[in-house]
Structure 1
Amino acid sequence: MRLAAVAMIVVAGIGLAQPAAAAPDRHDRPKPANGFSARGPWNTKLPRNVPLAANSAAVVENIRLDKVNNYGSWAVNTDEYSTPIYTVGRSTPRQRWTFSDCLNKPELAPVIADSLAAVPTPANLTPSKGTDAAVTIYQPSTDTYWDFWRAEQAPDGHWSACWGGRIEHYSKNPGIFANPLGATATGLPMGAFTIRIEELRRGYIDHAVNIATVRTRANCHSWPATRDDGNTEGADIACEGQRFRLDPAFDIGTVRSPVARMIARAMQEYGAILTDKAGALVTYAEDPRPYMLATGQPDPYPALMDPDDIVPDGAEKYLILGDIPVERLQALPYDYGRPCA
């Protein structure tokens, strides 16, 4: 996201450690929930022994400082500064969206024109809360994916967006927009890394997740990112697109929240990719409002994140990752995993 902030309640929670549940064997798993190619960077497991960046400890220390100096917590963004994910049918009405040009860059209008030309737009479409106003749309019948930034509906029902993009042949795409498209500042699709409610219900996440942090290195992006909006000079500042992983020696059985254990395991097995700047250290999970509308059920996150009342009610998404020590992250070298030309 280009702008991000989280209003956080920082309260100490108490609870007993619970054993980590075993994830289902890979052979029993369906296609990754993000739907992108199994050979892409999101869905490829990391070997246990991978090279680390020479300055890994220094880079991770700067991320830890971002956490300490910005609300003191590592949050899970859901309905604000994340994205709702809409899976739409073949008959969903298509609409020609308008380029809103909120950045005053009219030269970009022809670049995004094809992505806006025929967007299947459900009647209940609702962007994320916050200034990003993001939305993600997937149409299985055409295997096509869209995400948009600063999406807005006019009083007459017409939709516009300031930026975003379309990916055709979604299931064969590695999870990278053609430069300079895509709602994130890195050109990495929100649908590739955003944690789904269905994943948390089934008990495992089978793809890399994301992190976004306050300071990212200026004029630096690492594969799979195609661009960046870094804001801070310094060789020891994390580079957008850089891959991290949670130390495989870290015992995730010490993590109390079942959702946090799933996220920790995914970061050990697949890693976490730095996808954007934010107002705090955050990881994205899907906006629950489409789920709530479709099922008539309340927000599922409180019960999923904190069934044992580890932290105070209402603070779950801000505190449950507190048992994952940021200092146990490890930075991989720039362009780790990039296919040879």
Structure 2
Amino acid sequence: MSVAAGAVMYDSTGATAMAGTTADRPFSTSSPFRTPVAPDDAVDQRSDEVVGPLVESGEVVAGLYEYGIPVWRATPGTARVPVRCDPPGDWGECPLEGDGVPVPAEATPHSGSDGAMVVVDEADGLVYEFWQADRTDDGWVTSWGAVNELNGSGWGGASTGAGASRLAGVVRVDEIRDGRIDHALVMQANEVCREVFRAPALKTDGVSDDPNCVPEGARLRLDPSIDLDAVEMTPGERTVARALQTYGAYVIDRTAVPLSISFELAPDATAHDPGEVYRSAGFAWDYFGMPGIPWEGLQLMEEPR
């Protein structure tokens, strides 16, 4: 597959990652992200109270550009560059500091305040994740980050509020092009619980004390009894809706809008255009609300035991 100059790289030519895991299909088959929701899994008794306010507008926004996730790929020839972490508090030893990180010369974070960026090293089977990253004269500085195993669970580190990998659950450009997503998605919510979280989350950045807040790590699912073929949707919405019925989505971060879903930043995206693949699938602008998806059917699944 051809790649535009200076853009995100998707092809897996020469990849030596463990079987079944690549930059395009990360994490173990036993990962929570690659495990479907069973149709008979229990819905939380408080589902309506928790989910109702999040979908009251009838929209859940797609983060396509400003907060789209740039996924870059290092090769064995990619030079390692120094990374310095400058956290907002005493957070201990930063996993990105040390011997340097193989960051492609053309890599850039997204333009949103999270300054997020992911670098996948398939040869070493590692995923480098940046939060509030910025290039310097001799390397990179970032507020924090994480290093996860490409063949791991998709959970670990502090690049997201819940401790999920920043790569995990992101809707990829090729998935929208192909009309198929074979993993759970990731969501961000504005009413995220303070201190309370659910497995597989490792922590939370929530600040809400609302009794109907949503805990990070919670899994949301689109009611599988809904006949999506009978609902009028754009092709992209249908792809997302099918994934939400089959795999659901984990809440992993706090955001300003009621509910959002993470998408990969397209290689041809601009500040005014999310890219040809997204546009052709009906996502004509950043923060597209996906109103065709029957969000009233979104359910909070019961906490795992």
The one-letter amino acid paired with 1:284 is S
* Alignment-derived partner of residue 40 in structure 1: 31
- Measured in 1, the distance between the counterparts of 2:161 and 2:75 equals 29
Counterpart code for 1:165:
A
Flag the structure with higher strand content. 2
Change in CA separation of 1:215 and 1:78 when aligned onto 2, cut-off 3 Å: same
What amino acid is aligned across from residue 275 of structure 2 in structure 1? Answer: D
Specify the alignment match of 1:286 in structure 2.
264
What residue in structure 2 maps to residue 108 of structure 1? 91
Count of residue pairs brought into register by the alignment: 280
1:273 aligns with 2:250: yes
Q: How does 1:23-38 map to 2 (within 5 A)?
A: 33-38=24-29
Q: Deviations over 1:33-60 (max 9, x none)?
A: 4410111100011111111112111111
| Aligned-pair CA distance for 1:183 | 1.3
Q: Which of 277, 292, 304 is the equivalent residue of 1:323?
A: 292
User: C-alpha displacement at 1:108, in angstroms?
Assistant: 2.1
Mapped to 2, the partners of 1:187 and 1:113 lie a distance apart of: 14
Q: Answer whether contact 1:95 1:120 (CA < 8 A) is retained.
A: yes
User: SS where residue 322 of structure 1 aligns?
Assistant: coil
Q: Which letter does structure 1 place at the counterpart of 2:253? A: D
The CA distance in 1 between the partners of 2:233 and 2:222, in whole Å, is 16
Distance 1:317 1:222 in 2: 27
Aligned equivalent of 2:103, options 115, 121, 127 = 121
RMSD: 2.2
**Would the aligned equivalents of 1:183 and 1:190 in 2 still touch at CA under 8 Å?**
yes
Stretches of structure 1 that go unaligned for 5 or more consecutive residues are: 1-29
Paired residue secondary structure (1:192): coil
- Relative to structure 1, is the Cα distance of residues 62 and 317 closer, same or farther in structure 2, using a 3 angstrom cutoff? closer
Residue correspondence of structure 1 range 146-157 to structure 2 within 5 A: 146-154=128-136, 156-157=137-138
TM-superposed CA distance for 1:292, in Å, is 3.0
Deviations 1:20-43 (A, max 9, x none): xxxxxxxxxx76844101111000
SS in 1 for 2:242: helix
The answer as to 2:39 corresponding to 1:73 is: no
Cα drift, residue 109 of structure 1: 4.3
| CA-to-aligned-CA distance 1:242-265 (integer Å, 9 cap, x gap) | 001100011222142111111100
Percentage identity across paired residues of the two chains: 26
Equivalent in the alignment of 2:183: 207
Equivalence for 1:17: none
Would you say the 8 A contact 1:211–1:275 is kept in 2?
Answer: yes
Residue number in structure 1 paired with 2:301 = 332
Q: Does 1:145 align with 2:115?
A: no
1:182 CA displacement: 2.7
**TM-score, normalisation: structure 1:** 0.77
Q: Give the residue type in structure 1 aligned to 2:225.
A: A
**Which of structure 1's runs of 4+ aligned residues deviate more than 4 A?**
113-116
SS at match of 2:34: coil
Task: Name the CA distance, whole Å, in 2 between partners of 1:209 and 1:197.
Answer: 13
Q: TM-score, normalised by structure 2?
A: 0.85
Alpha carbons 1:215, 1:230 under 8 Å: kept? yes
Q: Which moved more, 1:115-124 or 1:240-249?
A: 115-124
Q: Is the 8 A contact 2:233 2:292 kept in 1?
A: yes
Is 2:70 the partner of 1:84? yes
CA contact (8 A) 1:115 1:166 kept: no
Q: What 5-or-longer segments of structure 2 have no aligned partner?
A: 1-19
SS of the equivalent of 1:150 reads strand
Counterpart in the other structure of 1:303: 279
